[in-house]
Structure 1
Amino acid sequence: MQLVQEQKGDGLTFRVHALTHVIRYSASSSGELDETRQMDGRFTVEAQLHGSGVLIEPGAFQYSHGNIQAKVEQQAKGGFLSRAIATAGTGESAFATRFTGQGKVWTEPTRKHFIIAESSGAKGDDMILDDKAFYMAQDTMQLGTHTHNSIAGALSGNGLRQPKLSGKGIFVVESPVPVSEVEVIELSGSDSLIVDGDLMLMYSASLNVELRPLVRGLRNALRSGEGLVFMISGQGTVFLTPTHSNLSAASL
């Protein structure tokens, strides 16, 4: 395996590994047999626990080693019906598996890419995720649901509801592109970000997202060839996947 990304938190460490396979054997100058390996397109996530715990999406667990305890925890609050309504349309389950103790937890190999990020837990630092993006989080964080109250959210390609992570800790999300192709943009509050298309992997809940024409006036819009774009303002962070081909807002 080849280490792709690593991040340490309070009581645990997350690592993303790329699986490899041997493509050639060769003899070294000392007479030993050397291996030449290359990545085969699959990835796995390792959570090393030393006093903390981790929440993993259902079905992702492969094996653990050490003094590890596991139990299923409810993420969405309320009764069965309210949980079902809250998580409907987010692509996420109302439950997650919580692992605690000392040792390592490994997830199933997959061809999906992963991004490790961190939240300070400060007010306004909640992260709104793309549908089905949640994969793993420190158990000091909570997975909830963000309900959009504007047409921008409803037409973003994610529907009226999206997963939301709150609290302090490190977490892992699934990404359509490798971590090297993810662009992280910090908005200070005095600038803005214009995005054509559903390229937002996740963004701070404190940000304002509007869906509007790039230029004013029907004639100017026809001349520019652009339609509706996402205008993002406020103070916070946006994770973009510009190399990912997806539905353009101009086609809405």
Structure 2
Amino acid sequence: MSDEIIDSQETAFGKVEVLQYPALSGSSDARSAESLFYVSQAGMRLKKVRITLPAKSSKVRFEPGALYYMHGDLEIKASTGGGLMRGLARKAFTGESLFVNEIHGRGVIYLEPTFGHFLLVDLDDDEITVDKTMFYAGLGDLTIGASINRTVAGLAGGEGFFQTKISGTGIAVLFSPVPMSEVQVFELNNDKLSVDGNFALMRTKGVDFSVEKSSKSWVATSVSGEGLLQTFKGTGTVWIAPTQGVYDKLATPSGLSELAGPPGARSTNT
């Protein structure tokens, strides 16, 4: 059985596809087979990203260690992604690597497989701000930098002072904590979105991020049980992952028992 294409984006720069393996069943090691059984029962599937470059002038950049294999007239080059100072700032502020690998030429590239999830975002002279370490690869003319959260909004909201900013034209490949089917997309038109927790994945240019009280007064906020809310205002798109906190709790020893309790008795913060 061939790999299944579960997501795809194509531009003049090339094509990016997310491939999903059929159920794995070839292990000759009993311990590996046991792990594969539980992974299969949970519905998890191994995935990898395939990138097709159509011309010698084409290029894709990706995080170090992400390359799996490639075929064609292709050459790997190391880059700071816009200069040494930009690379140092990206590493210091966002957690991304100082050096990024670029592959130039014509051919097909496969990136390392994972049981995790990928989001493909098509940018057309646009800009998105994403959680730190989400950037995995970029096809086309993209710039990766740092976005500064104003005042103490990022620290109070759990995002930190810096996030990753991706701008330009091309396809951004992002590593996601949840599958795309569990991501909710909100289109804001001079509107406001409030989130109780830090499970907002990304936002487009034109949407401002801040942290606000859940009620008008500090007294009401302190007794409401909601505390501070991540707030997104403006015109643009916001992606959130409501199930992210559920998976994080399930990974803890007491997570299942907490999730079995009344919803109001647990926090949605991750």
TM-score tier (shorter): 0.7 to 0.9
Task: State the distance in 2 between where 1:219 and 1:156 align.
Answer: 19
Task: State the distance in 2 between where 1:221 and 1:209 align.
Answer: 19
Alpha carbons of 1:249 and 1:97: their partners in 2 closer, same or farther (altered >3 Å)? farther
Report the equivalent of 2:215.
215
Task: State the distance in 2 between where 1:226 and 1:22 align.
Answer: 43
Report the equivalent of 1:104.
108
Equivalent pairs counted in the alignment come to: 233
Report the equivalent of 2:187.
186
- Stretches of structure 1 lacking an aligned partner (at least 5 in a row): 24-37
- Offset at residue 222 of structure 1 (A): 4.1
Alpha carbons of 1:50 and 1:104: their partners in 2 closer, same or farther (altered >3 Å)? same
Task: State the distance in 2 between where 1:220 and 1:187 align.
Answer: 27
Q: Percent same amino acid among aligned pairs?
A: 31
Task: Choose from 10, 13, 29 the match for 1:11.
Answer: 13
Contact 2:129 / 2:164 at 8 angstroms: preserved in 1? yes
Please tell me the residue identity of whatever aligns with 1:130.
D
Judge which range, 128-137 or 239-248, deviates more. 239-248
Task: Choose from 31, 49, 53 the match for 2:53.
Answer: 49
Report the equivalent of 2:177.
176
SS at match of 2:23: strand
- 1:147 is aligned to 2:148: yes
Alpha carbons of 1:47 and 1:251: their partners in 2 closer, same or farther (altered >3 Å)? closer
Contact 2:198 / 2:269 at 8 angstroms: preserved in 1? no
Task: Give a deviation string over 1:194-222, Cα, whole Å, max 9, x none.
Answer: 11111111112331111011111234224
Report the equivalent of 2:197.
197
Please tell me the residue identity of whatever aligns with 1:20.
P
- Offset at residue 170 of structure 1 (A): 1.1
Report the equivalent of 1:135.
136
Alpha carbons of 1:86 and 1:136: their partners in 2 closer, same or farther (altered >3 Å)? closer
- Stretches of structure 2 lacking an aligned partner (at least 5 in a row): 26-39, 250-265
Report the equivalent of 1:157.
158
- Offset at residue 40 of structure 1 (A): 4.8
Judging by fraction of residues, say which structure has more helix. 2
Report the equivalent of 1:116.
120
Task: State the distance in 2 between where 1:251 and 1:54 align.
Answer: 35
Report the equivalent of 1:68.
74
Please tell me the residue identity of whatever aligns with 2:196.
D
Judge which range, 155-164 or 129-138, deviates more. 155-164
Report the equivalent of 1:225.
225
Judging by fraction of residues, say which structure has more strand. 1
In the superposition, the TM-score normalised over structure 2's length comes to: 0.78
SS at match of 2:154: helix
Alpha carbons of 1:160 and 1:234: their partners in 2 closer, same or farther (altered >3 Å)? same
Task: Give a deviation string over 1:93-143, Cα, whole Å, max 9, x none.
Answer: 12211112221100011122000111121xxx3111101100111131111
Contact 1:89 / 1:159 at 8 angstroms: preserved in 2? no
Contact 1:126 / 1:206 at 8 angstroms: preserved in 2? no
Contact 1:227 / 1:251 at 8 angstroms: preserved in 2? no
Alpha carbons of 1:89 and 1:179: their partners in 2 closer, same or farther (altered >3 Å)? same
